[in-house]
Structure 1
Amino acid sequence: MKRFALPAILLVGVTVTNAQEKKEQPKAPVAEIRQAAVGFLEGLSPELRKQASFTLDDQERRAWSNLPATSFKREGVSFKEMSPEQRSLAHRLLQSTLSSQGYLKTTGIMHLDEILKSLAEKRRPTNTPMFGHDLYWIGIFGDPAKDSSWGWQLDGHHLALNITVIGDEVSVRPTFMGSDPARLPEGTYSGWKVQSAEDEKGKQLFASLNEKQRAKAIIGNVAPRDVITGPTRGDQLKTPTGLPASDLNAAQRRLLMSLINEYVHNFEHNIAHIQMDRILAAGLEKIHFAWAGTEEGKPYYYRIHGPTVIIEFDNHFPPGRNSGAVNHIHTVFREPGNDYGEDLLRKHLLESPHHQVEK
């Protein structure tokens, strides 16, 4: 059989291109996010635009919760107040920053709340609903059309996205995602699990540990009632505990990386890779995996904690119960020292000429 050789010039071209690709660093889609935020604000009425707008340092930026609307008052513009066209612009804002995976989880949590609303209304009809797709609020912090530093937030039951744009960088933490029920037990959507991967990958990693590794990883036989670094509690964990990644074998490190990626890749492709670069730059060996809850059929919890990452997962009994099915998930994804882009903002203020004060 006659063989054909590629021209040398093409081979050289491929080599150069690959070298260039290796050197090229991912860039966050700042322009796209900015355009989506500006479009959302411009699509609102003057009254709603004022309602949706806050300064970057407004206390509302850190005032988010996983509680239902009847237990925690939100500010901004709710989906209930938006027209269909305005809701489309809101979804465009979500899509500008989230990956397809993250967008489906986000909207899945919102849809799950609609199912909770239907179940609650069957049990006890009320004029003040606790749940529902309408009860999620969007706020814009700063002016995306003019400011180099600004942000946006989506806040509602079991869902809080906190996005900060600083120059050409994007901070996406803290993020809270939860689901109740974690697995729908009946009805049209029976078997549906919005956060199945976070659950199953965590259990898979724990199951892979040998007896010696488990002795280090287990921090309690009983799981905590909730994630520790939830709303207003971002600084509760100082020192990583549990099993260091340096004690994992190659296959277990792959499981750990897959679990971390499940949270990181809820965001747009380049944002996700930048996030993972920040996590790995601090040293994979410095990341610890911890587990609590060792009794079969009882609540369980895991934590991933390193210099630039805190991930918590908790699967517990339904609210207000101490028995029954373990079917209520809370997760949080944080960055110590850089939640809300704090570290990036400090660097930006020091390095940007227009922020410098003449002496």
Structure 2
Amino acid sequence: MKPITLFAHAIVLLGVSVSSGQDKESQHQAPVAEIRQAAVAFLQSLRPELREQAMFAMDDKERRAWSNLPATSFKREGVSFKEMSSEQRSFAHQLLQSTLSSQGYLKTTGIMHVDELLKSMAEERRPNRTPMFGHDLYWIGIFGDPEKDDSWGWQLDGHHLALNITVVGDEVSVRPQFMGSDPARLPEGTYAGWKVQGAEDEKGKQFYALLDEDQRAKATIAEVAPRDVITGPTRGDQLKQPTGLPASELNDTQRRMLVSLIEEYAHNYEHDIAHIQMERILESGLDKIHFAWAGTSEGKPYYYRIHGPTVIIEFDNHFPPGRSSGPVNHIHTVFREPGNDYGEDLLRKHLMESPHHQDHQHDHEHEHEHE
């Protein structure tokens, strides 16, 4: 980490508010060229009909149409891994690797692999049923033209996994993100003990355990955990005001642990993208971030939320689908950016500052003057 970034972290951890990240230039640069090259290579690997199937306009409704549900419960568009050749799958994975960190790539492919295990278990129980799980049932869509457009994006969508990437000029938005695991911890078989999202789970519990009695009372928003995350698919604007315990009431150890928990989500992305995410979150003021917890009974579902001006993180660990007892072993998480999901803030800024758009707006106004 560069010295200025360390300094910014030190200021935040000491509890001093830092001005908005919009006021100063980041020391990190998102790998826009690499992401663009990977997207172009993926599209060029597809035969014409699949390429047409993969591409959407930037404002197509599909860009916001994603779900954590299995393929039999939610119809997806784009190109599925089932339709890709081995070579095309390789290009698809290169696209993932261009934007994700090694930990994020392993979580992403781990979630897809868990779904493949679910497929095997489902086939054992009901061999002739239409497949609803599996690595094949994840779709990639490209929005805009990465070869020509300044603003474009890509999406990976499937069961328990949605990545929404928006490129605007030399900046990248990586939210909203949904990641889930069922089972969260594999109980038996070859992969017994495997836990794709173990860090999000354990760090959340560790942070809650660091709180004293009064802090826990403030942080706890419900004795029973909600059945799902609040800001899931189509519900991005459900949380307006932060609730729970403000970070201004944390000691230095607790503040460091909270930052580490946030980093677990941000660092699913490439090094520079992750640091830019953390700058946006911390420079809006760590003290403005609240931590909330629900679920206080041992062995029952639990939930936590991190909510500030530029971040919403939700985590829940619940009973498996269709059950209301037994082990808590089904994780859902979301990582959102209020006001900049799908790069909304970046797109507005680009529209205002781009000479091309300014000229277009000037011409439009000039036409009205002569009407």
With the length of structure 1 as denominator, give the TM-score of the two structures.
0.94
Question: C-alpha distance in 1, partners of 2:233/2:276?
Answer: 25
CA deviation string 1:220-250 (max 9, x = no partner):
0000000000000000000000000011100
Structure scoring higher RCO (CA < 8 A, sep ≥ 6) equals: 2
Question: C-alpha distance in 2, partners of 1:83/1:51?
Answer: 15
1:345 maps to amino acid: L
Match of 1:26 in 2: 28
The ranges of structure 1 where at least 4 consecutive aligned residues each deviate by more than 3 angstroms after the TM superposition are 21-24
1:229 pairs with one of 207, 228, 231: 231
Match of 2:281 in 1: 279
Match of 2:11 in 1: none
2:119 maps to amino acid: K
Alignment root-mean-square deviation, CA: 1.5
Question: C-alpha distance in 2, partners of 1:63/1:305?
Answer: 24
> What's the secondary structure of 1:134's corresponding residue?
coil
Question: C-alpha distance in 1, partners of 2:187/2:103?
Answer: 23
CA deviation string 1:145-180 (max 9, x = no partner):
000000000000000000000000000000000000
CA deviation string 1:50-107 (max 9, x = no partner):
0000000000000000000000000000000000000000000000000000000000
Shift of 1:24: 6.9
2:43 pairs with one of 34, 37, 41: 41
- The alignment status of 1:95 with 2:97, answered yes or no, reads yes
- The alignment status of 1:135 with 2:137, answered yes or no, reads yes
Match of 1:220 in 2: 222
1:305 pairs with one of 294, 307, 318: 307
> What's the secondary structure of 1:350's corresponding residue?
helix
Match of 2:179 in 1: 177
Question: C-alpha distance in 2, partners of 1:309/1:74?
Answer: 27
2:36–2:146 CA contact under 8 A, matched in 1: yes
Question: C-alpha distance in 1, partners of 2:44/2:189?
Answer: 40
Match of 2:240 in 1: 238
Question: C-alpha distance in 1, partners of 2:236/2:128?
Answer: 34
Shift of 1:253: 0.6
- The alignment status of 1:336 with 2:332, answered yes or no, reads no
1:70 maps to amino acid: T
Q: Percent identity?
A: 82
Question: C-alpha distance in 1, partners of 2:114/2:201?
Answer: 17
- The alignment status of 1:73 with 2:85, answered yes or no, reads no
Question: C-alpha distance in 1, partners of 2:348/2:57?
Answer: 17
Count of residues paired in the alignment: 343
> What's the secondary structure of 2:221's corresponding residue?
strand
1:188 pairs with one of 187, 190, 193: 190
Shift of 1:18: 7.3
Question: C-alpha distance in 2, partners of 1:339/1:224?
Answer: 23
Shift of 1:125: 1.1
Match of 2:369 in 1: none
Change (3 A) 1:94 1:189: same
Shift of 1:127: 4.5
2:26–2:276 CA contact under 8 A, matched in 1: no
Question: C-alpha distance in 2, partners of 1:45/1:128?
Answer: 27
Question: C-alpha distance in 1, partners of 2:224/2:127?
Answer: 36
> What's the secondary structure of 1:108's corresponding residue?
helix
2:188 maps to amino acid: E
Shift of 1:143: 0.2
Match of 2:16 in 1: none
> What's the secondary structure of 2:306's corresponding residue?
strand
Match of 2:111 in 1: 109
Shift of 1:204: 0.1
Runs of 5+ unmatched residues, structure 1:
1-16
2:149 pairs with one of 121, 125, 147: 147
Shift of 1:275: 0.4
Change (3 A) 1:113 1:242: same
- The alignment status of 1:201 with 2:176, answered yes or no, reads no
Question: C-alpha distance in 2, partners of 1:127/1:326?
Answer: 27
> What's the secondary structure of 1:227's corresponding residue?
coil
